[in-house]
Amino acid sequence: MSQGKRGFHYSDSAHLKATERGAASGLVLTIVIWGIMMAWMVAAVAIAGTAKMRAESAADGAALAAAPVTFRPFGARGSATGEAARFARANGAELSMCTCRPDPSWNERTVEVRVVVYARVPGLGAIPVRAQSRATFDPLALLDEGAPEPAPP
């Protein structure tokens, strides 16, 4: 035991407790900061996942819209690339590539598109999220005899 001021005695453990005061607040602060970082990471993953789904949906829509436009007798106006870009924009994306050559033949054709969506993650800014899709169009399916039979109900 040690002797303090005015003859009061205190034990060494009491002295240690007095010097450790505030140690828990550092631990609490660390836990709070860790929790905020984890919440931010979960939010960032959710934002990126949502952007990926939006990009995939936009790519699918753009490819499906462009495929029949490659066949001029279909009656479409404009270009397949323009149609793909229009559908990509309608779904919140930008068209970055379209392999959609016009083909006047009655042969089956496949178009491929790539789109980009920007995910806005707090603290990181706009992150580009890309997706691509393909769609096949068979002009013979437009003919009555070339159309597949409807599925029974």
Residues 129 and 117: their CA atoms lie apart, in Å, by 5
Q: ∠ CA(12), CA(14), CA(19), 5° rounding?
A: 95
Write down the domain spans for the chain: 24-142
Are the CB atoms for 148 and 128 separated by under 8 Å? no
- What are 39-89's pLDDT values in tens digits? 999 999 999 999 999 999 999 999 999 999 998 766 677 899 999 999 999
Q: What is the pLDDT of residue 19?
A: 60
Dihedral sign (CA 69, 72, 74, 76): positive
pLDDT band at 36, cuts 50/70/90? very high
Q: What is the pLDDT of residue 40?
A: 93
Q: Is the pLDDT of residue 6 over 70?
A: no
Q: What is the pLDDT of residue 116?
A: 98
Q: What is the pLDDT of residue 145?
A: 63
Q: What is the pLDDT of residue 140?
A: 87
Residue found under tokens 């002295």: 15
